[in-house]
């Protein structure tokens, strides 16, 4: 049986001056799930995204359509073994099974 978790809907990691999770008192994020709207992102935006995900020690990154294939590839390279592209209807398990 897995442990408990809190799901939060945070629309973005925020801008460079005040990241949304920090403003909400969040210091660690276990998983990011969903589309990230990174399709066509500039190298600068990708760099900031990778830095933010590292800052919050994100362990699982589950991306979808509006992330884009190039951004997925860059995130997968930056976070080996942590990035997946689950299909619609996938069941995601957290904790021990």
pLDDT in tens, 45-81: 999 999 989 988 889 999 988 889 999 999 999 999 9
Domain-embedded: residue 64: yes
Q: How far is CA 91 from the centre of its chain?
A: 17
pLDDT at 3: 46
In total, how many domains does the chain have?
Answer: 1
Range of the domain at 45: 20-81
pLDDT at 89: 83
pLDDT at 33: 86
Mean pLDDT of the chain: 79
Domain-embedded: residue 14: no
Domain-embedded: residue 26: yes
Measured distance between the N- and C-terminal CA atoms of the chain, rounded to whole angstroms: 6
Domain-embedded: residue 76: yes
Rounded Cα distance between 87 and 85, Å, is 6
Q: Which is more confidently placed, 61 or 22? A: 61
Domain-embedded: residue 93: no
């Amino acid at each position: 049986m897995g442990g408990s978790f809190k799901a939060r809907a945070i629309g973005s990691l925020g801008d460079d001056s005040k990241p949304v999770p920090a403003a909400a008192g969040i210091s660690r994020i276990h998983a990011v799930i969903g589309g990230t709207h990174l399709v066509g992102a500039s190298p600068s935006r990708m760099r900031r995204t990778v830095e933010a995900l590292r800052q919050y020690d994100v362990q699982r990154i589950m991306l979808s359509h509006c992330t884009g294939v190039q951004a997925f590839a860059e995130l997968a390279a930056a976070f080996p073994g942590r990035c997946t592209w689950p299909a619609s209807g996938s069941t995601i398990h957290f904790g021990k099974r």
